[in-house]
A and B are shown apart, each in its own frame.
Chain A
Amino acid sequence: KNEVEQSPQNLTAQEGEFITINCSYSVGISALHWLQQHPGGGIVSLFMLSSGKKKHGRLIATINIQEKHSSLHITASHPRDSAVYICAVPVIPGGSEKLVFGKGTKLTVNP
């Protein structure tokens, strides 16, 4: 079982639809990152969450620390939202800090 699991792996939506991407993790300390990777490889940090909910524009991220689960929502999706969305969890094995990444959810929003 992967330490950080995302679902779905692939998601196709029509412009305007509400999108939900899920992330469950079995490791890590009490925080989680959501990242966006565009074609070509560049990655942008969207959120770091340690509790509750954060909102930025049309993006909303929630986290339940007890259940080790987080969701990323996109309201009124747009073709420019097409990207791979990755969740990552910080861990501290042996005292050194590092991130464990999910495999990503590839989102395609069609006009």
Chain B
Amino acid sequence: SAVISQKPSRDICQRGTSLTIQCQVDSQVTMMFWYRQQPGQSLTLIATANQGSEATYESGFVIDKFPISRPNLTFSTLTVSNMSPEDSSIYLCSGRTGGITTNEKLFFGSGTQLSVL
């Protein structure tokens, strides 16, 4: 099974600054995703990170606010830009191998707990 190393694990940031979160997978995964989990809520998909091309964003999330890179099959970054207190959440990256319903394996990073003052 794949292991995803995510960093930083937590950070406290000032309003208006940006934070880049990194995820490194120890083996190739088919797809990579970025999620946000606000306190007491379920995971919300921010975007699908596409290798070598622009990420596919979900409704309510835009590239200017959450730029994503995936230069190869094992690495991706998410930047939270121009932060406000409303961005305080856990951010998680995830990888998947296999098809969506057949022998699919899901892997998650350990999460980044972001607090914006």
Contacts and interface: CB of A to CB of B under 8 A. Distances in A.
Interface of A: 4, 29-31, 33, 35, 40-45, 48, 50, 86, 88, 90, 92, 96-99, 101-104
A11 to B, nearest CB: 16
Interface residues of B, number: 29
A41 B90 contact: yes
Given A41-B37, A41-B92, A103-B42, A48 B111 contact: no
A41 B111 contact: yes
Nearest to A6: B42
A45 B108 contact: yes
Contacts of B31: 97
Interface in B29-88: 31, 33, 37, 40-43, 45, 48, 56, 58
Contact of A42 (B40, B42, B110): B110
